Structure 1
């Protein structure tokens, strides 16, 4: 996957002595909650998997608890506008940061669709597999395989979530949506039973910081970005805007469906 390089990353703010203290206690608390609950999730999954298969009646609540607690620990405001979709289907959103995963999971039980190489990333790949992430290759030649996998998960009641931009940005814009994955929802088996809900993720930087403070892109290192977020005081906020779900069967092809989703997501961005 290519990395967006449309803007220069802002200079990292210096971390003060008080900031390092926040890094220590917030990092410790976040790690304890994340990995403690991950251990609980894996234990519950030992019984959940043979009893329910693809259905996960318990473990998504554990994931959601971790994501909500992350914002409590970090002190970042988390607000929502709009109604969450109850119909069967998928969710698409713009992508600005690793924080998106926490933000989108905190309010809605979703399963992320991610590029295949993430499964091999140390730590992150393990967490992603444990929480039911769907790993795929973004290749049109694999559209049929994607459709079969999506069908299994969607018919099990899973809400699949993917980022059609294909990369993260500075959080201040929406890139053109890639249309490849939308084809998987337009098969004869799925198009008449699915909806797709566009969601706009909007970050507000901490007072006095660069507007793209929470954005993570280009050559920005994960560790350095994480430290700055942990150290920040006061913090900013993130808002999720849930748009009206789109009925897949109302669109003639993947390009039209992708464009409608992109327009909805873009419409709520402050720059719009």
Structure 2
């Protein structure tokens, strides 16, 4: 994980009871069967899907979606969403708070993440990312044209690409300023008239009695302790996805204007989602 953002306050201490450890073992076993069983099925289906459909994936994204949706059921985390899904070719942009974002955004919509090239080399995670069709890019201006052509190929294959414009994850209590460079490829001659962009606000509501940033994963936090802490809670919180209306790239004059628009929509939805839950509580 990129250590791009750090909180001024230290991460909350992790405390787990014996019962919590029991939940961890049970949920880990069931999750392992779901995730790795789903991966085996996905790879087997892909053996037949690839020769007949090439870059198109008419079947395997449904397997990924099934795994991610049921992962929340196993973990006990509530899941809800609002808004219509984009049907036009294009990209989805969302705020980034946790490794749970991957499950959440895949659970509602069949998407393909755009990730930095280093992730492909991460043990385990890199293999899963490649199997599910993640697009890996290098932050190198010399690769810009090559990556634009790759985006064009994927979009023409009806792939919805998912970007995290903040460039890092946070504690889930804020939305960082978007990096406009990530929007540059959208304005190429090949993509500008082809693409639409849909902003999505991802909002986490903590378990009752836990800190508001319970699900946040940022800075130098290790994955394993955060994963175990999450599974150890009996009565979990929830995640909420707010899908804002998609907009055409060609309706914006440049990447900065588009990035600012998406940031404003996501920031507003994030604030509304958090405020709504706090009022309900």
CA apart distance, 1:201 = 0.2
1:68 and 1:160 map into 2 onto residues whose CA distance is: 19
Larger mean Cα displacement after TM superposition, 151-160 or 45-54? 45-54
For these two proteins, the number of residue pairs brought into alignment is: 272
**Structure 2 residue 220 is matched with structure 1 residue 219:** yes
1:255 to partner: Cα distance: 1.0
Correspondence for 2:120:
119
SS in structure 1 at match of 2:188: coil
Range with bigger deviation, 138-147 or 102-111: 138-147
For residues 36-51 of structure 1, the aligned pairs below 5 Å read 36-51=37-52
- Residues in 2 aligned to 1:206 and 1:266: alpha-carbon distance in whole angstroms: 22
Counterparts of 1:31-110 in structure 2 under 5 Å? 31-110=32-111
Change in Cα spacing, 1:179 to 1:132, as seen in structure 2 (3 Å) is: same
- Per the alignment, residue 255 of structure 2 pairs with 254
Q: What are the equivalent positions in structure 2 for 1:1-272 lying under 5 Å apart?
A: 1-270=2-271
* Moved segments of 4+, more than 4 Å: none
Measured in 2, the distance between the counterparts of 1:204 and 1:13 equals: 18
Structure 1 contact 198–242 (Cα < 8 Å) conserved: yes
3-state DSSP of counterpart to 2:113: strand
RMSD: 1.2
| Structure 2: distance between partners of 1:141 and 1:6 | 33
Residue of structure 1 in register with 2:279 after alignment:
none
Do 1:10 and 1:210's aligned partners in 2 also have CA atoms closer than 8 Å? Answer: no
**Structure 1 alignment gaps of length 5 or more:** none
Instruction: Report the alpha carbon displacement of residue 2 of structure 1 after superposing the two structures with TM.
Output: 4.5
Q: Is the 8 A contact 1:138 1:180 kept in 2?
A: no
Tell me, in whole angstroms, the C-alpha distance in 2 between the residues paired with 1:141 and 1:66: 37
Residues 13-67 of structure 1 show CA distances to partners (whole Å, capped at 9, x for unaligned) of 4111111110001000001100011011111111111111110011000000000
| Worse overlay, 158-167 or 178-187 | 178-187
**TM-score relative to the length of structure 2:** 0.94
Maintained 8 Å contact 1:60/1:109 = yes
Alpha-carbon distance in structure 2 between the residues aligned to 1:170 and 1:139: 28
Cα offset for 1:7?
3.3
Distance 1:40 1:88 in 2: 27
Of 183-192 and 222-231, deviating more is 183-192
Deviations 1:169-225 (A, max 9, x none): 001101111111211111122211211000000000111111100000011110000
